[in-house]
Amino acid sequence: MFTVWVDGECVYSPVITDIDYKIISPVLTVELNKAGSFEFILPQGNRGYSSIQKMKSLVTIMEDGSDIWWGRVTDDQKDYFNRKHVYCEGILTYLMDSIVRPYDHQDDLPVLFRKFINDHNSHVDQGKQFTIESITVTDPNNYVHYSSTQYPKTLDEINEKLIKTHGGYLFADRTGGVNYISYLASSGSVSTQVIEFGKNMLDLTEHIDARDLITVLIPIGKNNLTIASVNNGKDYLENTQAVNLFGRIERVIKWDDVTQASNLKTKGNTALTQNANLAVGITVTAVDLHLIDVDESQIEVGQQVRTVSVPHGIDIYLPCTKKVTYLQEPEKTAFTLGTTIKGLTDRQIEIKKGLNK
């Protein structure tokens, strides 16, 4: 059973028939590495109709007495019947309320993440501050050098300098009135529930996307620094497997804050590995069997879920990247699993199998 609370006051309960506690079409969307959203329609007679404040009111969703989501109202619009269409975003958007001042960081990656969060905390109200719970993402060299002369939003800078470059996942939750944030290398545990074709799988899409494919990378650092001095005179890096599969596809990536050739080469190798693996993606949409069988474990965003489709020749684990919950129609709740990218080794095995046949 779901209930909805605004600033500590209940505004929706399915067991109370009074219109004071009724809302219309509440839908919760949770996505990996995103703040998530909650949308609902508030009738004029609801007890929270006049008290909700944009960008200030804290909206909490509870399931069976436990908090599962927190956010703030970012928009509400009245319709012809004076009902309020309310849109909320998760507490991770608090990181959009602070600005990162120009900086030059030379230290380990977790230190930079702590700097971003601590600086954010120093520029926002207490209710928007975060306590760091865990950091498990690291740099192989235990050293990163990032700088900026711009004034980006904190969440944008975390995405640009950390997540896009080093991967990982941001998780935010709230306990005892305190906001917690974690930056984790793993997205979550493994679900014991299995998604199967003909059972609870709604849709499966397999696609090839080569728009960002790179097989030969030319890394460029500050003041046009190249890697030639630490790469046998060559200013480029080459993924031999990718070249054999797709041919030579050259691209340039610039790191304006990198001043050492060795660090530039390390970042170039990481970027080349990531961009040479964009071959085949799989996206699956499915329903949660937990809704009809309480003995089945509930799938959560971030978990790895075994996905089986005999007609498609698929038996793999995919990350749950999105969950859409209809609070008043839980049977419509659905998940998106993927996109998972097959590595080049898998592609080579498939090609060899085809040649053997």
DSSP string, 38-64: EEEEE-TTSTTTTT--TTTPEEEEEET
Looking at the structure, give the CATH architecture of the domain made up of residues 190-208+279-356. Roll (2.30)
Q: How confident is the model at residue 292 (pLDDT cuts 50, 70, 90)?
A: low
With a cut of 80, say whether residue 28 has pLDDT above it.
yes
| Residue 209: predicted pLDDT | 61
| Residue 291: predicted pLDDT | 66
Q: How far apart are CA 139 and CA 168, in angstroms?
A: 11
| Residue 240: predicted pLDDT | 87
**Which region among 92-101, 102-111, 257-266 has the lowest average model confidence (pLDDT)?**
257-266
| Residue 31: predicted pLDDT | 92
With a cut of 60, say whether residue 348 has pLDDT above it.
no
- Phi and psi of 330, rounded to 5°? -60, -20
Across residues 20-49, what is the average pLDDT? 94
Q: Which of 274, 247, 269 is nearest to 258 (CA)?
A: 269
Q: How far apart are CA 355 and CA 195, in angstroms?
A: 31
Beta-sheet pairing, 190-196 with 304-309: parallel
Convert 222-258 to b/e letters by CB count within 10 Å (16 or more is b).
eeebbbeeebeeeebbebebbeebbeebeeeeebebb
| Residue 30: predicted pLDDT | 95
| Residue 207: predicted pLDDT | 63
With a cut of 60, say whether residue 200 has pLDDT above it.
yes
| Residue 295: predicted pLDDT | 65
- Phi and psi of 234, rounded to 5°? -95, 135
Over residues 114-138, the pLDDT tens digits come to 999 999 999 999 999 999 999 999 9
Q: Which residue has the higher pLDDT, 188 or 89?
A: 89
Spatial neighbors of 194 by CB under 8 A, at least 6 apart, are: 305, 306, 307, 308
Over residues 307-320, the pLDDT tens digits come to 888 887 788 888 88
- Phi and psi of 329, rounded to 5°? -135, 65
Q: How confident is the model at residue 343 (pLDDT cuts 50, 70, 90)?
A: very low
First to last CA, the chain: 54
Q: How far apart are CA 326 and CA 210, in angstroms?
A: 35
Across residues 59-80, what is the average pLDDT? 94
Q: How confident is the model at residue 281 (pLDDT cuts 50, 70, 90)?
A: low
Q: What percent of the chain has pLDDT over 70?
A: 89
| Residue 214: predicted pLDDT | 87
3-state secondary structure of 37: strand
Indicate the residue type of 160: E
Spatial neighbors of 3 by CB under 8 A, at least 6 apart, are: 10, 12, 13, 14, 61, 62
Q: How confident is the model at residue 336 (pLDDT cuts 50, 70, 90)?
A: confident
Q: Which residue has the higher pLDDT, 7 or 17?
A: 7
Q: Which of 86, 115, 114 is nearest to 101 (CA)?
A: 115
| Residue 357: predicted pLDDT | 38
Over residues 218-250, the pLDDT tens digits come to 999 999 999 999 999 999 999 888 788 778 989
Q: How confident is the model at residue 152 (pLDDT cuts 50, 70, 90)?
A: very high
